[in-house]
Structure 1
Amino acid sequence: MALPPAFLDELRARTPLPAVIGRRVKLARAGRQWKGCCPFHGEKTPSFYVYDDHYHCFGCGEHGDAISFVMRSQGVSFTEAVEQLAAEAGLEVPKPSPAVAAAERRRLDLYAVLEAATQAFQRRLFLPEGARALAYLRNRGLTDATIRGFGLGWAGEGRGALAAELAREGIEPAQLIEAGLMKPAESGRPAADMFFNRVMFPIRDRRGRTISFGGRILGDGQPKYVNGPETAVFAKRRTLFGLDLAREAAHGGASVVAVEGYMDVIALHQAGFGGAVAPLGTALTEEQLAELWRLSPVPVLCFDGDAAGARAAGRAAELALPHLTAERSLKLATLPPPEDPDTLVRRPDGVAAFQAVLDAARPLSEALFDLLRESLGDATPEQRAAFSRRLEEVADQIPDRALGWEYRAAFRARFRERYRGGRPGGRPGARGDGARSVGGRPGRIGGGDSRPAVTAPPPAPPGADAIAAEQARILVAILLRHPVLLQEVEERFGSLVLPESLARLRSAMLEWFVGSEHLDSAELMTHLTAVGLAAEAAQALSALPIPLPECASPRAMPAEAEAGWWHIFGLMHRSRLDEEVALAQRDFAVRMDAATQRRLISLRAAQEALNRGEQGLETDR
């Protein structure tokens, strides 16, 4: 018995064709597609192209999808190929049964019912009863060719008209209910039309089959737009309006852009932006993102330039984070207020104006930085610290570690540029010969004998909370004695969870850091005294409950202090220290200058001290 087409569609949707073919063919990116030498005939010049849902060889004409490729390349049957791909996709192959066959027949019947409804709605639009609806669409700037191309129609003002018309084609009310065109009878009320007095927008699947409808009311009624309910062929979370047409345009090189509404998509297509699609009146879902990525590795999300648009952009951006790879990302474009794509593109210069919006679309990392800054604020030290922590959390959500490091580095670079602009780049007190290593021995990349002068620990204070509080105090004390280190550790310092008194100190220290031109300990202590925090600073520098380690002494060299700071930080957050080491290694590999070398030496020394089990509490006495 044949497998249900719905299952096969789902299998193809879940199977990344370039990955399947890439196991046997060396593929290279060619625009939005991939290309390689055809595995089915000998060739030296690549003519085998892989698209999102099919492959084609322009040399021998071989053509197919993931299933046919497995069959052809491995010499297996259709059933064997399906079972193999289903296992990889985490799908269960349906068992042949009379019930499954009957359900599939009903599902196929739904497509016929929905297509009949499409034709009925469209006919009605061009009859006298549809005059108001047709005038509305034409007043929105749509041509008759566009109206017919999208299958737009009119539901009519009389209830029961659709059921009466389709009854002549043998379609029963029960079928209309199953197709989402009628509401079932309930509480003594008869079945009723789902759509009434509305302009109708057919919603199509990737293959161009109508699977549901959206309807816009004429006049002031609410809700303005209504979508059909979930059915055997329609799932709102997996569907994009305009997807079937956007597929063709994307294959021809059009930019894929997600906008908000039906009319936005239609107006953009009419203006030549054939890659436009839209979710169905809700926030973008993971399934819809996957559909966008099947069309383009870097689709553009286009939002209104108001507060609601910013919130929608932020939600979509963070939704994408766990799914990002080096070859799959997003761009975010913002419309000039108060325009939406429909109004913008209908201006005399609309095509050029919308193209300028697309050209100005920002990479996801840049857009996320600005969206988070605007939502969290950055006017106070506390807000900047919260902003810095949130940037770190965002980068942590990216499962591709290399890409996560790149985002983290990009965020930090922008953070420093924005809030440290104009600060002298050098570090006062640092030696120019590449860094005095901690412990008094020459430092060298890779460790050697470089180590913090923080070796034999005294007994730790009892209890995990007491230990964490003492470690936090040491970190603050090191920065009170060596505030120049804030240039290197500010983001991580701001991300720490501190006791209340230390948190107040940190806020004041970061506020001073932003405005100070000379990162001097005496000037910092003067500032803290002026803001009423002298007692808190004195307590942080106290020898109680235990003496501070040597790295918190004013006698410590900058490299000793920095390595000691990272050592204590690593005791509190080892994984974050390892991330800092990895970032420093990448920075040094790219820049190869004294500053990145010093930083890498200090971080490596701290990491090695942790590996040796040192607790970082050797005192300055």
Structure 2
Amino acid sequence: MSQIDEVRTKTDIIEVVGASGVSLRKTGRSFVGFCPFHPNSRTPAFTVYPDSQSFYCFGCHASGTVFDYVMRKQGLDFKDALEQLAARAGVRLEPKGDQERQEDARRTRLLEINAAAAKYFNYVLLSLARGQPGRDYVERRGLTPETVESFQIGYSLEEWGHLWAYLTGKKGYPPEDVVAAGLAIDHETRGPYDRFRGRLIFPIRDARGQVVGFGGRALGDAQPKYLNTPETLLFKKGELLYGLDLARDAIRNEDRTVVVEGYVDVITAHQHGFRNVVAPLGTAITKGHVALLKRLSHNVYMALDADAAGQKATLKGLSALRDGAEDGEGGHLVATAQGAVRLESDVSLRIIRMPEGRDPDEVIKADPELWRRLVADAAPVMEFYIGAYTAGLDLGDPQGQRAALEKLLPLLAELDGAQQRVYIARLEQVIGIKAELILDLLRGGGKQAASGRRREAGGRRQAAGGYPAADAARPPASRLPPPASAPRTPANSVEDYLLALALRHNTVVPAAVEAMLELGLEKHPIVREMLGGGLEDLLEDPANQQIWAAFTGLPIEGRPTDEAGLEAWANWLEEPLRERFLALLAGAQIHPQDFRHRQEAEDCARSLRLQQARRLHAMLLQRIAEPPEEGGDPSRAAELRQFTALTQFISDAKTPPRTSTFPDLRDRLGKA
């Protein structure tokens, strides 16, 4: 039994969910309560299944194992969730190697140094006479003592070595570690000196509340106006969001994250009760930021300044997200029925249009109700693009019309059909070109431009060489919890065997599986929406999900196919994913006579899909059989439609064909 399975076996999901503050009541063999992942106070749609140790929400479709629950509830990656659950279950994880232990020890030292520096800066602001410039600024911005304490705001003296002397002299930290933490600069002739001098200090914490760096605002004419900790072992500004540790609960409760531009914007918003607000650290929003946020909410609202710089930052952020999607980090842009644009990873984006010349800090302090209205009226991303790409153009001139279309057509090409028609009509109004002509251009150049951009992105990734490390962000969780009857050991399970085939035959198997799934769902659109049509939708083990997400992050032409290449790529994975990956490969060795891998993969996929459908069918039957809530249950009609669709789908599904190539697999499939 692997470490992952040992932790899973010794963990009771009912206890974990209950300990996280979700009240559950027993109904039959399952437990129900209000979902912690989306606002809902009328119908308890969140269901936990002790038999399969899984959960499923009939409202927002959040689902998975206890690992998925902890990752989503606390905003953790798989490794951190595993460590937390292992400690809870009393399971001792495999000891780390010397290099990992040394890195962990250094990380711990840097965290201690940052924590000591944060206390020092805060003490200078609150208690030293020379901290008066900082106190004057805090008072001028209207920040309360409670807010200063919550964000641990501080001040750095206008001296070259005050913090250095405190950390290396009084606290006794090694000089090289103080430099490594980014708090001091070791000049080759002058010697070490404080990085932050004469600045208001904002400690920057990770999602778990640990101080990993600092931002400093100059109070005089010093440049730059804002100074951040440089990239360190702890501080990666493209993966951090200011205020996220304090915003996590509010983001989950409201199912919405608001991204603003500056530290004080975040602080003022929290002080006035808007606690779902965060900010990037002087950069446009990145895919790393989205990886953090989508563990907490699927809705991201961007509220950057209305001036040219703010618009440029917004465009840059959206461009980064789209490039990431094209690199395989989240899928293409898709318009929802409400007109928002989401990534395939289920993150929807909207733009808050700020009043000209005013930032969120000013609006919130002057008129909180206006801020509420601005958030409620946030524009779909396509509306923002149309405004941004037509601004300053003479749309009465053919050259201006052409310039706008060149930028907007690739975006139109990525939208769903219905929304594409909506925005073609919108462009006809704005640009003044007939919808029929826009559609002709879209069918010609727009799609070519979009596919060309994707090829460029793939080329850039391949040119970098080597294999990237596994992405910390996991793929979207499977829509369904694992079956109670599914094998719990990694060896010989149908899901593991399918993944092993997909890894070994990566240019053939995924396409064959997805073609088979799509063929089976052509007549069942409701079932397609519930179950999905990709290979990743069949993977329900968190470790398998992460392995497949990391592997498909590679360009197709750069994916290893032979034994040596696969084992070399495994070295990029962190434990215990590397252990699982190698076990998968060992369970599906390539032999010269292995010519039926496509059929074997389709057999596995068919079996897993039928299990999913039957399991959800049983869950819906149980829900429908329960007496309705007092006052009616608005979700009952939708559940009945889903139940009917699944009944027909299961009836139409054929018995999996028997195979002679792998008798052990044949036996398992015959029992599915």
Range class of TM-score, shorter chain: 0.5 to 0.7
Which residue identity does 2:436 align to in structure 1?
E
* In 2: Cα distance, 1:295 partner to 1:363 partner: 21
- CA positional deviation for 1:179: 0.8
Superposed counterparts of 1:461-540, under 5 Å: 488-493=436-441
Question: What residue number does 1:114 align with?
Answer: 114
TM-score norm. by structure 1 comes to: 0.55
Question: What residue number does 2:457 align with?
Answer: none
- CA positional deviation for 1:116: 0.6
Question: What residue number does 1:212 align with?
Answer: 213
- 1:394 maps onto 2:411 in alignment: yes
- CA positional deviation for 1:223: 1.0
- CA positional deviation for 1:41: 4.9
Question: What residue number does 1:168 align with?
Answer: 170
Which residue identity does 2:140 align to in structure 1?
N
- Structure 1 residues 67 and 225, CA gap change in structure 2 (3 angstroms): closer
Question: What residue number does 1:581 align with?
Answer: none
* In 2: Cα distance, 1:30 partner to 1:251 partner: 6
Q: Output one character per residue of 1:100-125: Cα deviation in whole Å (capped at 9) or x when no partner.
A: 31221011111111001111111111
Correspondent of 1:38 among 37, 44, 48: 48
Which residue identity does 2:370 align to in structure 1?
A
Correspondent of 2:69 among 52, 55, 75: 55
Question: What residue number does 1:599 align with?
Answer: none
- CA positional deviation for 1:360: 1.5
* In 2: Cα distance, 1:154 partner to 1:70 partner: 38
Which residue identity does 1:55 align to in structure 2?
Y
- 1:129 maps onto 2:130 in alignment: yes
Superposed counterparts of 1:305-344, under 5 Å: 305-321=306-322, 322=325, 323=330, 324-325=343-344, 327-344=346-363
Alignment check: 8 A CA contact 1:389 1:491 kept: no
- 1:182 maps onto 2:184 in alignment: yes
Question: What residue number does 2:379 align with?
Answer: 362
* In 1: Cα distance, 2:110 partner to 2:231 partner: 13
Alignment check: 8 A CA contact 1:54 1:64 kept: no
* In 2: Cα distance, 1:490 partner to 1:277 partner: 38
- CA positional deviation for 1:70: 8.3
Alignment check: 8 A CA contact 2:351 2:378 kept: yes
- CA positional deviation for 1:271: 1.1
Which residue identity does 1:248 align to in structure 2?
D
- 1:371 maps onto 2:364 in alignment: no
Alignment check: 8 A CA contact 1:152 1:199 kept: yes
- CA positional deviation for 1:330: 0.3
Alignment check: 8 A CA contact 1:304 1:310 kept: yes
* In 2: Cα distance, 1:385 partner to 1:488 partner: 15
Question: What residue number does 1:474 align with?
Answer: none
- Structure 1 residues 389 and 113, CA gap change in structure 2 (3 angstroms): same
- Structure 1 residues 379 and 316, CA gap change in structure 2 (3 angstroms): farther
Alignment check: 8 A CA contact 1:123 1:153 kept: yes
- Structure 1 residues 68 and 131, CA gap change in structure 2 (3 angstroms): closer
Which residue identity does 1:414 align to in structure 2?
R
Q: Output one character per residue of 1:90-141: Cα deviation in whole Å (capped at 9) or x when no partner.
A: xxxx994323312210111111110011111111111212112111111111
- CA positional deviation for 1:344: 1.6
- CA positional deviation for 1:67: 6.2
* In 1: Cα distance, 2:246 partner to 2:377 partner: 24
* In 2: Cα distance, 1:366 partner to 1:406 partner: 16
Q: Which has the larger radius of gyration?
A: 1
- Structure 1 residues 54 and 149, CA gap change in structure 2 (3 angstroms): farther
Question: What residue number does 1:100 align with?
Answer: 100
Q: Output one character per residue of 1:5-61: Cα deviation in whole Å (capped at 9) or x when no partner.
A: xxxxxxxxxxxxxxxxxxxx999996269964323258999789769986279xxx9
* In 2: Cα distance, 1:487 partner to 1:415 partner: 8
Which residue identity does 2:246 align to in structure 1?
L
* In 1: Cα distance, 2:98 partner to 2:53 partner: 48
- 1:415 maps onto 2:427 in alignment: yes
Question: What residue number does 2:270 align with?
Answer: 269
* In 1: Cα distance, 2:47 partner to 2:239 partner: 34
Alignment check: 8 A CA contact 1:369 1:411 kept: no
Superposed counterparts of 1:146-157, under 5 Å: 146-157=147-158
- CA positional deviation for 1:199: 0.9
Report the secondary structure of 2:303's partner residue: strand
Report the secondary structure of 2:201's partner residue: strand
Alignment check: 8 A CA contact 1:305 1:334 kept: yes
How many positions carry a matched residue from both structures? 386
- CA positional deviation for 1:282: 2.0
* In 2: Cα distance, 1:262 partner to 1:217 partner: 13
Alignment check: 8 A CA contact 2:202 2:216 kept: yes
Which residue identity does 2:38 align to in structure 1?
G
* In 2: Cα distance, 1:491 partner to 1:273 partner: 42
Report the secondary structure of 1:147's partner residue: helix
Report the secondary structure of 2:317's partner residue: helix
* In 2: Cα distance, 1:313 partner to 1:47 partner: 33
- Structure 1 residues 354 and 175, CA gap change in structure 2 (3 angstroms): same
Report the secondary structure of 1:38's partner residue: strand
* In 2: Cα distance, 1:305 partner to 1:145 partner: 30
* In 2: Cα distance, 1:148 partner to 1:409 partner: 52
Identity across the alignment (%): 30
- CA positional deviation for 1:200: 0.7
* In 2: Cα distance, 1:172 partner to 1:361 partner: 50
Alignment check: 8 A CA contact 1:55 1:65 kept: no
- CA positional deviation for 1:373: 2.1
Question: What residue number does 1:198 align with?
Answer: 199
* In 1: Cα distance, 2:307 partner to 2:241 partner: 23
Q: Output one character per residue of 1:283-307: Cα deviation in whole Å (capped at 9) or x when no partner.
A: 2222123323333212100022222
Report the secondary structure of 1:105's partner residue: helix
- CA positional deviation for 1:220: 1.4
* In 1: Cα distance, 2:245 partner to 2:105 partner: 24
* In 2: Cα distance, 1:404 partner to 1:78 partner: 48
* In 2: Cα distance, 1:286 partner to 1:369 partner: 23
Which residue identity does 1:416 align to in structure 2?
E
* In 1: Cα distance, 2:82 partner to 2:194 partner: 46
Superposed counterparts of 1:547-562, under 5 Å: none
Which residue identity does 2:278 align to in structure 1?
V
Q: Output one character per residue of 1:390-409: Cα deviation in whole Å (capped at 9) or x when no partner.
A: 3221234x4xxxx4435533
Alignment check: 8 A CA contact 2:395 2:432 kept: no
- CA positional deviation for 1:376: 5.1
Alignment check: 8 A CA contact 1:241 1:262 kept: yes
Alignment check: 8 A CA contact 2:54 2:63 kept: no
- Structure 1 residues 218 and 419, CA gap change in structure 2 (3 angstroms): closer
Question: What residue number does 1:526 align with?
Answer: none
* In 2: Cα distance, 1:265 partner to 1:118 partner: 19
- CA positional deviation for 1:329: 1.5
* In 2: Cα distance, 1:122 partner to 1:212 partner: 14
- Structure 1 residues 254 and 488, CA gap change in structure 2 (3 angstroms): closer
- CA positional deviation for 1:383: 2.3
Which residue identity does 1:185 align to in structure 2?
H
* In 2: Cα distance, 1:307 partner to 1:53 partner: 43
Question: What residue number does 1:141 align with?
Answer: 142
Q: Output one character per residue of 1:274-327: Cα deviation in whole Å (capped at 9) or x when no partner.
A: 111111112222212332333321210002222222222222233333341283
Q: Output one character per residue of 1:451-502: Cα deviation in whole Å (capped at 9) or x when no partner.
A: xxxxxxxxxxxxxxxxxxxxxxxxxxxxxxxxxxx653344258878xxxxx
Alignment check: 8 A CA contact 1:365 1:407 kept: no
Which residue identity does 1:394 align to in structure 2?
L
Unaligned runs of 5+ in 2: 4-30, 331-342, 446-524, 526-672
